[in-house]
Structure 1
């Protein structure tokens, strides 16, 4: 009887060992070094800041689409590309200037671009303005607004007197043009105006209408009737300035995009999920989350009951807590937020909550779809020329993977223990197999004696 039980135990351990070894051999956890290499590629100067509407943004679209094809993702709704329309800031011919003229039109002062002043990206409905004493100019400290008819032009002194920050582009913003000026520039302009001089400013950008694309693919699940899991990230950034300075956007958001692409390899190595997994690379997030907005509006009826995990800034080197971001009306007790927080606690990951409509989870939440953004909310280099791949930390990438992989395994693969705990099962089965085999041999010897 004892030998029979030991034989049964050995058989069970053999089965567990075989199944767990198969997963141990085939499952490929996300490679954070490979992710960092992709970040380095997408945030290189060759992509010129990936501004929506530019050639380099279209090159990014093509890169992601080809990656989806290589990884055998199925085109979502029979097309990898979802088209939508945007207004974007197009660079035009000309040299920027901010200068002072006397009453005869002679230039008495010309300020230096990117040193004394620089455009902010917010809007360019008009790209030039001239004004003098007697015009409608409203001063507040070192900031002033020029009104000409129904058009408003804002000149403002940025935080820390630093003109390198670049805002997102918002086509419906209230001002026609936004100019950052140094403190000394503002004070000099005020003095020149009071003395009767005219100020002229020209920035060679203009608003233009164009079509652009999200990149969408999916991994087919066993049950097409189940709501899908959606994994997403935005790939656009804020381009470059007129001096050729590139805003590379490594953390924001080449990192989230690269993390998303790395997850595709991991999921493919597991096998077929229980439900569809949609992989969505969104465009025009920097224009007000327009890519995700169009995706949700078009496909909202297919997304009911879905769960969305968005990745925006993954890989900070500042040892910041990972942020669980959700809609402004959510709380830490919202079901999906609570679920992700539980996974953070399970992995002993330092985290915080952020409830703002500030990334691509916004429009999912507006339609009642469970959605969170995971983010290393490190703002120290965001939207500046310093946001480069050299500051990406693979430990932060691994931290995010350890959290999100559990949710993928749970929601998309039905909490299969051979996926969730394949390493532990393999080790335990090996040890159990060795011990039970040793006991079986001893039992056989005792029986023979």
Structure 2
């Protein structure tokens, strides 16, 4: 009887070990070095900050498409590109200026771009302004607001008195300002003094607003259950471009990191085999224009996406902060989808927190009542400045996110397949079982001689 018992468990251990070895050999080894290599490439000076509408943004779109093709992802609707229209700020071949002109039309002073003043792209609509004390002006210590007809212009000093921050470009709201100009405290004080003398202020920022068609990039792995709602794995790849002096806002953390993580993650997921549910991989464009790419996709395909689950990656690579589970404004720490991720963080001993903001590409899905979240290392210390570079990206933070996200995708796309979740543990314990039951089998065999 002991011999039968030992033989049975030895066979089970051998089968488990063989199967787990096979799984181990076939699963792609997610590599943070590959992630960092892509971050380095996409945040390089060559791509000039990946502003939507620019040639460089189109080149990044083509790069992501090529990566999807290499992986044999199926093109969505017969084409990897999902087009939509946007307005974008087009750089003109002219020089900026901010100057003071006296009552006789003579130049009193010309301020230095990047030293005294710099444009902010938030809600940029108009590129030129002349004003004096004869116009409608409101002044405070750090702000000068000028109203000209239906347009409002804001000159302001940032709280840190630095001109390095560059906002997202959003020009869809007609009720807010038409142009923002950042000024140092000294420049704002000087301009205020010259206004009081009756002098004219003249400002020109050489951008104009143009319309164009840009693309999200979408590929997928077909699941076994065609009627099941898909899993979406996504990240945006655009950033805020470069300023008028040619300073590039590289956007390594925001969000070359997220799209690079997604590309490496797709290789891992593809190696797991055929999922129960279709898995869509999406590179979203124009997130920095107000999440326009994800809004377009969520609205256009709302019926297809009913019941979907969205895992978005936005800023992955800073270990100086916890891994944030970012839900929408309507979510809270009781939201079931978010609590599943929280549970995985606890089990994997990952430091985490919750953020509830409509500030990334999960927003449009939540507004359409679709389960969605963004994984985010919410380190704001260098975001939207020229300091957001590859040398601040941390390997441990990349691996931390993978540890959690991989478990969640297996749960929802592969039916919590225990072999996929625990193949390493199964391989170890079944290996120990083979040794143990082999010894017991030999002992019993000798006794029976």
Q: 1:263: which partner in 2?
A: 265
**Cα pair 1:89 1:123 within 8 Å, conserved:** no
Matched, 1:352 2:349: no
* Match in the other structure for 2:382: 381
From 294, 307, 310, give the equivalent of 2:309. Answer: 307
Alpha-carbon distance in structure 1 between the residues aligned to 2:190 and 2:90: 30
Q: CA deviation at 1:395?
A: 0.1
Q: Where do residues 233-382 of structure 1 align in structure 2 (5 Å cutoff)?
A: 233-317=235-319, 319-382=320-383
Show the counterpart of 1:215.
217
Matched, 1:121 2:121: yes
**1:248-298 alpha-carbon deviations (Å, 9 max, x no partner):** 000000000000001111011111111100001100000000000000011
For residues 191 and 145 of structure 1, what CA distance do their matches in structure 2 show?
15
Q: By how many angstroms is 1:29 displaced?
A: 3.3
Is the contact between residue 51 and residue 239 of structure 2 (CA under 8 Å) also seen in structure 1? yes
Partner secondary structure for residue 98 of structure 1: strand
The residue that corresponds to 2:438 in the other structure is 437
How large is the Cα RMSD of the aligned pairs?
Answer: 0.9
The residue that corresponds to 2:189 in the other structure is 187
Partner of 1:11: 11
Is the Cα contact below 8 Å between 1:123 and 1:207 reproduced in 2? no
User: 2 CA distance for matches of 1:198 and 1:116?
Assistant: 17
C-alpha distance in 1 between matches for 2:225 and 2:190 = 68
- Hey, which bits of structure 1, 4+ residues long, moved more than 4 A? none
For residue 224 of structure 1, give the secondary structure of its aligned residue in structure 2: coil
- Alignment partner of 1:34 is 2:24: no
* 1:78 shift after superposition: 1.3
Question: What CA distance in whole angstroms lies between the structure 2 residues aligned with 1:5 and 1:77?
Answer: 55
- Unpaired runs of 5+ residues, structure 2, are none
CA positional deviation for 1:9: 1.2
Question: Which residue matches 1:225?
Answer: 227
Q: Secondary structure at the match of 1:161?
A: coil
**Separation of aligned partners in 2, 1:20 and 1:69:** 29
Q: CA deviation at 1:122?
A: 1.3
Residue 140 of structure 1: how far off its partner (Å) = 2.0
State the 1:437 CA deviation.
Answer: 0.5
Q: Secondary structure at the match of 2:160?
A: helix
Distance in 2 (CA, whole Å) between partners of 1:115 and 1:133 is 25
Q: Which sits farther off after the overlay, 361-370 or 139-148?
A: 139-148
Using the TM superposition, give the Cα deviation of residue 357 of structure 1 relative to its aligned residue in structure 2, in angstroms: 0.5
CA distance in 1, matches of 2:115, 2:405: 43
Q: Does structure 2 conserve the Cα–Cα contact (< 8 Å) formed by 1:153 and 1:176?
A: yes
* Corresponding position of 2:72: 72
Match of 2:427 in 1: 426
Q: CA-to-partner distance for each residue in 1:117-147, whole Å, 9 max, x for gaps?
A: 0001113321010111221111122211111
CA contact (8 A) 2:124 2:170 kept: no
Whole-Å separation in 2 of the counterparts to 1:327 and 1:281: 20
Q: Kindly indicate whether residue 413 of structure 2 is the aligned counterpart of residue 412 of structure 1.
A: yes
TM-superposition CA deviations, 1:206-254 (whole Å, max 9, x none)? 1111111000010111111111111110000000001000000000000
How many residue pairs match? The answer is 447
> For residues 410 and 34 of structure 2, what CA distance do their matches in structure 1 show?
22
Q: TM-score, normalised by structure 1?
A: 0.98
- Do structure 1's residue 399 and structure 2's residue 403 form an aligned pair? no
